[in-house]
Amino acid sequence: MAAADVTSSSSSRPFANARLPFGIFAFLGLALFVLGIDQFVNALTLGAIYALVALGYTMVYGIIELINFAHGDVFMVGSFVAMFISSSLLGNEGAITNIPLLAGSVLVLFALTIGVMAIVGALIERLAYRPLRRAPRLAPLITAIGVSFILQNVIQFFFGPTIVTVPQLVPIEWSIEVSGSRVPLLNIFVIAASVALMFALQLFISRTRTGRAMRTTSMDRDASSLMGVDINRTIMITFLIGSGLAGAAGVVHGLYYGNTSFNLGFQSGLKAFTAAVLGGIGNTAGAALGGFLIAFIEVGASAFGYGRWGGAVVFSLLVIFLVFRPTGLLGSHSGDRA
Amino acid sequence: MSRIVDAVNAPFAPVRAYFRKHRSLGIFVGVVLLSVALPLLTRVPPFDGIQSTNAWVNAFTTAAIYAMLAMGLNVVIGFAGLLDLGYAAFFALGGYTYALAASPFSGIHLPFWPMLLAGGIVGAIFGVLLGAPTLRLRGDYLAIVTLGFGEIVPITLMNADKFTDGVNGIGGIDKPNIPGILQFTLINPWPMYGLVVVLFTLIMIMIYRLEDSRLGRTWDAIREDELAAESSGVNTVIAKLQAFAVGASIAGIVGVVNAAKITIVTPDQFRFAVSISALAAVVLGGMGNTIGVATGAFIIYLFQSILLKQLNTLVENFNIPILNQIDFLEFQYVLYGIVLVLMMLKRPQGIFPARRRMREFAPLKIGKGGLK
């Protein structure tokens, strides 16, 4: 599911990993050239959000092979929790110009939202997925859909069916000059925070004992159980982390767009899921890569005046990709099933 | 308990034996009896208080359309074991086919009856077009491809304004008529009800006959073990394509009927939610069991669209002080979600599981005759 699989799959394709960084840089350079700096930064920011959500999809799929349809809505709930904490608990109304106060507020906002969403995610797993661990494949898929219904409508009940504004804590005027264009600090902060979280996740999975338990569980659940891994605990931790990251994506979304609505989860969830598949489902680095790729496609489409077709392009790419390279960009442990 | 059930069932034994032998006739008689009984039932309390008989008949028609859709999806998922998450796309293609062939928007007014067939053909063509490159994929990958296709179709319908009038959709679609005898109208729900009953019967008979055919057994084999089926000489790609085509053509036909019933098609009618509710009906009804799936879909639709909306009145009748304060209408989708989750937790095999799956779920029983 993680770094280990990348190395194991690359052993059969020795040049894959050497080519990859080059490919990414070439792509980024091309994108920067084609889109211009403003759109480039926009795409990176959107990509950070997609990538954070995609990580949750890919981790859950990697470990229990469930397409967690409720995950997009977990992201949506995260954005509402962030809104609630920011405006009601911390009493924010708009930008904070005092730097220590701003840093403190943002830190508290991230910590609380991630914590709350991690608990929500673990609860969902405990109530809706764990009882069905031995049931046929489709049963948890249906409960996931049920959970998605519940989350959407509970939020709609409390916050109404309209778009809700979220305080944008980082002042939008703050920006730096890059070759003649203004790049808002907000975007840089959002990208940096997301990338930091992704690196933390990567370290956690590859270095810690729990991370190793997650990798073994995703490879062979029964065997790792025999080796003394507590399967239920490991799966619950996977949900904790995945939902926490979705919560972080919710915070980022609120800070960046300044609004949210109860039906945010579905479309963005679908795109994040596409990102997870493009990168190679079950592969965390791939999910992040896929998230950025999809954002670039979407932003590119709207930059050239085909914004309405962005979704269609993304999904067509998904279909084409799956037909010709079902293991995704970076390959995955479940590739043999495709 | 079972003795009582046996005693009640005993007089019907010859009837059941007869219809087991002549199943198509049995389906015909059953559907006709039900289609007469349901409107009669709406005349008795408590059903008569909820809405007028005409409104009920209209609801039954929609429920039957939904049930046909679920039966078609069941061929793909329950028989061949292919998870299709974009089934609404074929439904949409059927609907738009008829809308373009018989509406003021296109200026063409072709008659309804041949278009019924055309909708099925268009569905089948797109089913094969989607299936041919993708059916080599297995399991969840196929699910994801179909999901992508299910999103592409409404987005394309929405953006290709020139041909589909975009978000507004195509309105004023012609109603079917039988020249000189019967003109369908929006006010009178009965002709459409009759049409749907006939179509429902035909589709159900067709699916049952398919299930028992050589093709049906091929699907069984592929679903249970694709590798074993392939090694036994089954051309799995062709058989899977056929499952896709059959499912898609049923969705196409039903799409035409649906478009003719509500006389407008918009891209929003065919979003992911439709694919999902059809899937929910298949799984809740009992995957692989045609009657179970149809009944499940019928019940779910009525539950969702009528019972949940009636909860307020129901609770008021009971006069429980706290519950009276709550407006259940606001909670209807939360309740739907809770029901989905609870149903799956308590009965993952569905309400009416297929006999084969029932055995898979039952614990191994060792009786007098050894292992059963």
**B234 touches B218 (CB < 8 A):** yes
> Whole-angstrom Cα distance, residue B238 to residue B244?
10
> Whole-angstrom Cα distance, residue B175 to residue B169?
17
Half-sphere exposure of A141 (CA within 13 A, CB side): 21
Domain-by-domain residue ranges, chain A?
3-337
Neighbours of A7 (CB within 10 A): 11
Give the DSSP letter of residue B77.
I
> Whole-angstrom Cα distance, residue A38 to residue B331?
43
DSSP one-letter string for A158-183: HH-SS-EE----S-TT-EEEETTEEE
Assign residue A175 a region (left: φ > 0; alpha: ψ between -120 and 50; beta: otherwise).
beta
With 0-12 CB in 10 A as exposed, 13-18 as middle and 19+ as buried, what is B52? exposed
> Whole-angstrom Cα distance, residue B112 to residue B118?
10
Q: Do B334 and A153 touch (CB under 8 A)?
A: yes
CA nearest to B268, candidates B171, B172, B169? B169
Interface of B with A (CB under 8 A): 77, 83, 133-134, 137-141, 143-145, 147-149, 151-152, 155-156, 158-159, 272, 276, 279-280, 283-284, 287, 330-331, 333-334, 336-341, 343-345, 348-349
**B120 touches B252 (CB < 8 A):** yes
With 0-12 CB in 10 A as exposed, 13-18 as middle and 19+ as buried, what is A205? buried
Q: Do B337 and A277 touch (CB under 8 A)?
A: no
Interface of A with B (CB under 8 A): 61, 65, 67, 127-128, 131-132, 135-143, 145-150, 152-154, 157, 266, 270, 273-274, 277, 281, 308-309, 311-312, 315-316, 318-319, 322-323, 326, 337-338
> Whole-angstrom Cα distance, residue A140 to residue B343?
11
The residue in chain A having the minimum alpha-carbon distance to the alpha carbon of residue B287 is A138
Half-sphere exposure of B357 (CA within 13 A, CB side): 23
* Lookup: tokens for B146: 């179909």
What radius of gyration do chain A's Cα atoms show?
A: 20
pTM of the model: 0.82
CA nearest to A328, candidates A269, A283, A298? A283
Find the helix or strand (DSSP H, E) in which B182 lies. strand B182-183
The residue in chain B having the minimum alpha-carbon distance to the alpha carbon of residue A317 is B148
Q: Do A157 and B334 touch (CB under 8 A)?
A: yes
Residue A183: per-residue pLDDT:
83
- Tell me the CATH number for domain A3-337: 1.10.3470
Opening angle at CA A240, ends A234 and A246, nearest 5: 140
Quick one: how far is CA B3 from the chain centroid?
35
Low-confidence ranges of chain A (pLDDT < 50): 1-16, 333-338
pLDDT in tens, A47-77: 999 999 999 988 998 888 888 889 999 999 9
- String of b and e for A53-71 (b: at least 16 CB within 10 Å)? bbbbbbbbbbbbbbbbbbb
Shortest alpha-carbon distance between residue B297 and chain A (Å): 14
Fold (CATH) for B55-363: ABC transporter involved in vitamin B12 uptake, BtuC (1.10.3470)
Residue type at A245?
L
Q: Per-residue confidence of chain B (372 residues) as pLDDT tens digits?
A: 567 777 777 777 788 788 777 888 888 888 888 888 888 888 777 777 777 888 888 889 999 999 999 999 999 998 998 888 889 999 999 999 999 998 888 888 888 889 999 999 999 999 999 888 887 776 777 887 888 888 889 888 988 888 888 888 888 888 888 877 777 877 788 899 999 999 999 999 999 999 989 999 999 999 888 889 999 998 988 999 999 999 999 999 999 999 999 889 998 888 888 888 888 888 888 888 898 899 988 888 888 777 777 776 777 666 666 666 666 666 767 777 887 788 888 887 777 777 766 666 665 554 444 443
